[in-house]
Structures are given as structure tokens and as C-alpha cells.
Amino acid sequence: TSSTSVDDLLDLGSLLTDDERAWQAKARAFAQDRIVPTIEADFEDKHFRSEFIPELGAAGFLGMHLSCYGTAGAGAVSYGLACLELEAADSGWRTFVSVQGSLAMSAIAKFGSEEQKSEWLPRMASGEVVGCFALTEPDGGSDPASMGTRAVRDGDDWVITGAKRWIGLASIAGIAIVWAQTEDGVRGFIVPTDSAGFSATPIDGKLAMRASIQCDIVFDGVRVPESLRLPDAIGLRGPFSCLNEARYGIIWGVMGAARSCLEAAVERSSSRQVFGGPIGRFQLTQAKLADMFLEYEKGVLLALHTGRRKEAGTLTPEQISVGKLNNVREAIAIAGLARSILGGDGVTDAFPVMRHMANLEAVRTYEGTDEIHALVVGRALTGVQAFR
């Protein structure tokens, strides 16, 4: 009997519009033609290929779901599909698009003045300017309310002092969206990274996300004018509503990593010969493949449901938590089953599976850990918050 490809069996593509399929095809081509050929070496060498940034911009992927100031104005599902295809190559490149588009650009699009939007968004959409999003601090990533970074008013300026950690792209960024405590609560600032007192240092020793950059940042009395404060960002609702955007992209993205693992396992089930035949003829192998496939397709359906709700304007943070918690957890389980089908070779870089597994451990931790999202769902079910 002939085999059916992973994406054809349930034909979920039939639920997409022509425009969405076109975005997916464009993202798949970029991921497979540009990222995949060198990703194993880049991961090994800890090399971030910044030459891809203007290419991603020219193809319309940066801030692609925003609808103004040089952005592509694509729908939420199209954006999700792009995240899926990029993460099928490597989580680091989906993360780049998330940080630039969902976090830094969306902060300016949601909360910026007209002058800020027209100055920065077109240049960020093209990739000329990279943005980072500085929220997390060394003490207490899950609890941004306890942030120690302070912005103090001094005449027409603000003076920012403090530290941030795990900030993607900060060492190559032109601007940082910085969240700081003020006398009136949390506020957001656009901080040019060449400001005096700003320094960003890449974090070394990562065994995940090695082909991308995360940094420590120090603000040593960084001075920015009032004109660089985001006027409409009031309180923690500001950064959290940007996190909603990035978490939404993760719901889709991790299914790309899962698909890559599943495809490797399916291919190996026919090419690997053991006990006189392909391992795919064994019932245990087929049961694993079926379980992986079920969770992959359910994850894509959940992503599509959240995407349709986002397009309708009805997606809630709790629904995003359901999607992020489930899909990252299942992507990790799929990667583990794929590794077992690949046997010893599965731990080598001849296959993408261990790289995806390592990356997914980072993805389960950032933008809200499994535990935080479980507690958001628990709060929705019980009406009682159990964070502290």
C-alpha cells in the first residue's frame, strides 16, 4: 500500500483560504530553501544569520499581521501558518519573527503615537531596524509585576535604571521596547540601543535556541525623551497584550517543529531496516506514528480555532493559554516519540529531532511557562487565582 503524507491525511488545508495557502507556501519555501540547508551547522556554531532579516522583511513576514505603515496586513491564520513553517525549520527563526513582529512592532502599533508608528514601523517591516522587547528580569521572569527596572522623570526626559534578561535580539537591535516601573505604574519606552548607558550581552552556554540570540541588558541611567514613551501603554496590560500576540504565534509555530519530527519518523519507518524489514511494519512503530499524528492534527486544529477567533476579535488570554500549554506540551511529546523511532541515530544531528526537542524546552519556558498557563486555565475554571 502507498503512504499518505502527513499533511494530506486529514486535509486540513481544505479549511484554509487561497490567500492563507499562498502565505504558507511562501513561508515553507523560505524555511526550506534558506534556513534548513545550514541550520544544523548554525545551531552547532551558535551562528545567527542576520542576512536573512532583510529577506524576511522583503517577503512580508515582519509584522505581517499588522495592517498599516508598510506591513503586509495578512490575517491571523496566515501569520500562524508562517510561524508554523518557520519553526518547522528552527524555533529560533520563528522566535525572530515573533520578537520583531508580535512584540516590538505590535507594542508600537498598539500603544505608539502617530509619529512613533510612522518613524519605526516601516523600517521594522523591511528589516532595516530590528526591535527587541525588554520585559523579563533576572529575578522572577514569571512575575513582571515585581520588576525592578525604574524610569524616573527628569525635566523632558526619563532616566532608566535596571536590568533585563533573556531578551531576544537585544545585541543586534536598533531599538528596545523597555518596560519600566514609574511613579504612576508600568510604562513602555522606545530606547535606541546606541543610547549612553545601554548595554546588551548575548547569553552564552545555551543548549537550546543556539542559532538565535538572547541577551542580558543593563540600563545604567539611560536617558530618553518623553517623545519616546509609548503614550497609550498604561500598566502591565501593555506588555501582557503584546505577549498575547507572541503566545498566539507559538501555538502555531510549535506544530511546525512537531511536523518536522513526525516527518523524520515517518521517513525513517520505511528507510530503516531491522529484523529483516522496515521498522514501519512493526505495530509498536505504527502506534507511535498514529499517536504523534493525532496530536499534531489536533494541535493544528486548536491553532486554527484560535486563529479564527483572533480574526473575529473574540480570542481571550485564557484561550491563548490553552493553546500554548497544549501545543508546546504535545510538540515535546511528539519529538520524544520521534526520537525513539530514530533509535541511536536520533540523538545525532543527522536528524532535526534533538534540536527541536532542545528548542521546545526553551519555548515551553518563555512567553509564560507551562505552570503559568496551567494556572491561568485553572483560574478560569475555578475563579480563584493561585499564582501567589
Residue 183 a catalytic site member = no
Q: Which of 195, 167, 70, 201 is nearest to 124 (CA)?
A: 70
Write each residue from 73 to 112 as x if it is in contact with ligand TGC (CB under 6 A), else as -, in one continuous string. ----------------------x---x---x---------
| Closest chain position to ligand TGC (CB) | 168
Torsion of CA 152, 153, 159, 161, to 10 degrees: 10
- Specify the residue, 71 or 136, whose C-beta has the smaller distance to ligand TGC: 136
Q: Is 372 in the site for ligand TGC (CB under 6 A)?
A: yes
- Per the CB < 8 A criterion, the answer to whether 65 and 74 are in contact is yes
Which is nearer to ligand TGC, 283 or 388 (by Cβ)? 388
Amino acid at 273: Q
Residue 243 as a binder of ligand TGC (CB under 6 A): the answer is: yes
Q: Which of 20, 87, 295, 367 is catalytic?
A: 367
The alpha carbon of residue 326 and the mean position of all alpha carbons in its chain are separated, in whole angstroms, by: 15
The interface mask with ligand TGC, positions 168-207, x = CB under 6 A, is x---------------------------------------
Question: Of 68 and 145, which has the nearer Cβ to ligand TGC?
Answer: 145
Among 167, 180, 292, 334, the residue binding ligand TGC under the rule CB under 6 A is 167
Phi, psi angles (nearest 5°) of residue 199? -140, 140
Give the angle subtended at the CA of 261 by the CAs of 26 and 276, to the nearest 5°. 125
Q: Using the rule CB under 6 A, is 278 a contact of ligand TGC?
A: no
C-alpha cell of 220?
Answer: 545604567
Q: Is 140 in the site for ligand TGC (CB under 6 A)?
A: no
Q: For residue 30, with 0-12 CB atoms within 10 Å meaning exposed, 13-18 middle and 19 or more buried, which class applies?
A: buried
The angle, 0 to 180 degrees and rounded to 10, between the axes of the packed helices 370-382 and 317-342 is 140
CA dist 153 and 226 (Å) reads 9
**Interaction between residue 161 and ligand TGC (CB under 6 A):** no
Find the part of the chain contacting ligand TGC (CB under 6 A) among 199-207, 234-242, 269-277, 329-337.
234-242
Segment (H or E) for 160: strand 157-168
Q: Say how far apart CA 235 and CA 149 lie, in whole Å.
A: 14
Interacting residues with ligand TGC (CB under 6 A): 95, 99, 103, 132-133, 135-136, 141-145, 166-168, 214, 235-237, 240-241, 243-244, 317, 366-368, 372, 376, 385, 387
Active site residues: 367
